[in-house]
Amino acid sequence: MEKLASATLGGGCFWCLEAVYSRLDGVKSISPGYAGGKIKDPTYEQVCSGETDHAEVVQISFYPNKISYETLLEWFWRCHDPTTLNRQGGDVGTQYRSVIFFENEMQKSAAYESKNIAGKSGMYDDPIVTEISALPEFFSAEDYHHDYYSNNSNAGYCTYIIQPKLAKLNLE
């Protein structure tokens, strides 16, 4: 039985991150949800209010012998803008912040190293504002958020935001 690991990342709308990471070899499953806030088991509406301090995140279950945590982080820097504070495009608020929630010292070290490398890479004109924090409790999002792009590829957000992102990353 292959051992699984997990990574929890936030980079704007969790629908976008789920669509990107679901296409990577070695990723077993993705759960959109909420982390980093101050109430237990928040709803989407509560998180969207900006009052809970949660971020929209994806929790990625992956096979580390097929895809490394470091590779997941490389995709993280490529698939969103880590230089904008509390926003990704038209999505504005603390729930859309760029954040890496680490689960152990290895992930913490890898996250800081990866952020340093991305910051020096020349990929961005502005400084990276990504938060790196220990993973508090993760709360899975409501069922209708799971596999959102797969189930709603003709919805406006999917056609105007997610599809171009996937095309730009050569994932569609």
Residue of 13, 16, 79, 158 marked catalytic: 13
Displacement of CA 55 from its chain's centroid (Å): 9
13 as an active site residue: the answer is yes
Q: In what order do the strands lie in the sheet with 131-134?
A: 131-134, 98-102, 5-11, 55-62, 27-35, 138-140
22: exposed, middle or buried (Cβ count in 10 Å: 0-12, 13-18, 19+): middle
Q: How far apart are CA 163 and CA 2, in angstroms?
A: 32
Full DSSP string of 92-135 = ESGGG-EEEEESSHHHHHHHHHHHHHHHHTTS-SS----EEEE-
CA angle 70, 25, 27 (to 5 degrees): 70
Amino acid letter at 172? E
- CB of 20 closer than 8 Å to CB of 72: no
> Active-site residue numbers?
13
